Amino acid sequence: MNKKIIIPTSNISEGVEFFLRGAKKRRSMAIASVRQVNTDIGVNLRLVSVK
């Protein structure tokens, strides 16, 4: 039998990649929600992230 050898493209496991994708999605949804609330109440702020 010929088995395909899968060569990973990164050293991050699939489970961790899944977790990180979810975190990025939640973060972008939270930022969109904050922007919407600020727009509704008439506040115009610039969001800045510090790394």
Residues 38 and 44 sit within 8 Å (Cβ to Cβ): yes
pLDDT band, very low/low/confident/very high, at 19 (cuts 50, 70, 90): very high
How would you write 7-22 as a 3-class SS string?
CCCCCCCHHHHHHHHH
pLDDT digits (tens, 9 = 90+) for 2-18: 778 877 777 888 888 89
Residues 16 and 8 sit within 8 Å (Cβ to Cβ): no
Residues 29 and 42 sit within 8 Å (Cβ to Cβ): no
Give the pLDDT of residue 3.
Answer: 76
pTM for the model: 0.57
Query: What tokens were used for 29?
Result: 């949804």
pLDDT digits (tens, 9 = 90+) for 26-38: 999 998 998 888 8
